[in-house]
Amino acid sequence: MMDEYNNLSEEDKKNYDISNLGDGVELVGYSGDDGKVDLSQAITKSSFKFDGVDDYIKINLEEKNYINEIVENGFTFEFYGTMEEDGRDWNQNPGRGVSIPECIGLFGLWTGNLEDQAMLRFNISPSEGKYQAIWSPLYGDILKWWDPDYVTDKNKFYSSGIVDLEDGYWNQYLDLGVEDFSKSFYLTIVVDPTEQFTESFPEHGVTDNLSITQEIYVDGVSQDKKGLNKLLWDFLINKDLKYDFNCFCVGLCSLGGGPEWHLLKGDCYSLRLYNRALTEGEVTENYKKTKEYHELLENQ
């Protein structure tokens, strides 16, 4: 897409069809003086820029019924580029404040309304001196709608990445193994509901909790693989429940209550969202081919 855009005349760039970016894609914040999307703010020779001020991408999953495909087949998110910690953050409720100012908002499953938190959300935040990825489904909100039996037996929500269920939310931490985010890296996140397994937690009095697989790769190499509770996945993804998850937000994600929002600041060389879980071989192949292509662009 960047090649196609950069090869256009200045006049054709002004009239570029945004639908070429993909089904259901909306650019937020990339506006010129006339209020229309101005891709010259975003696209350079080899990257797509997130300014960390108001830029992010919304992807409408209802365009081609992608939500149902994700339920069955999972998804894969790929980001190749650089990140900085000083993207803007704010709380929709000013009285709540911001809990982790240096947090980087990457993507989330969302209603599309800034008054609503992203429910499956992926942020990058320092913890114990290193960066980790945080999945944060809202456990407290789940209990409002879930079968009452689960309120009294919340340990059924445990899976291998869990931190705590006691304080009303659930964070999972997956190691990234990235030391310097200002240097380019290729991040791949795979969630695969077709690969299921059971996990036991005797310390919490539960055995055989069913989990689906979530795995993180950096530069084509797996860094961490943990379970995501199947009950939780079914609840969050089910369109028949109270929430209307019809968007992925990219370059923006919520973290704490309010909701608290964090923007991504950085250069993106490649961004892909698949409505299925890629195999390890496909992840590695994408990384190698994309990196080679980016290096060709840089050397032109």
* pTM for the whole structure: 0.86
- Second CATH level (architecture) for the domain 22-32+46-299: Sandwich (2.60)
Distance from first CA to last CA of the chain, Å, rounded?
17
pLDDT in tens, 146-158: 555 555 677 777 8
Q: Please write the tens of the pLDDT for every residue from 98-112.
A: 888 888 999 888 888
Please write the tens of the pLDDT for every residue from 201-216.
Answer: 888 888 899 999 999 9
Half-sphere exposure of 32 (CA within 13 A, CB side): 10
Nearest-CA neighbor of 253 among 93, 119, 131? 119
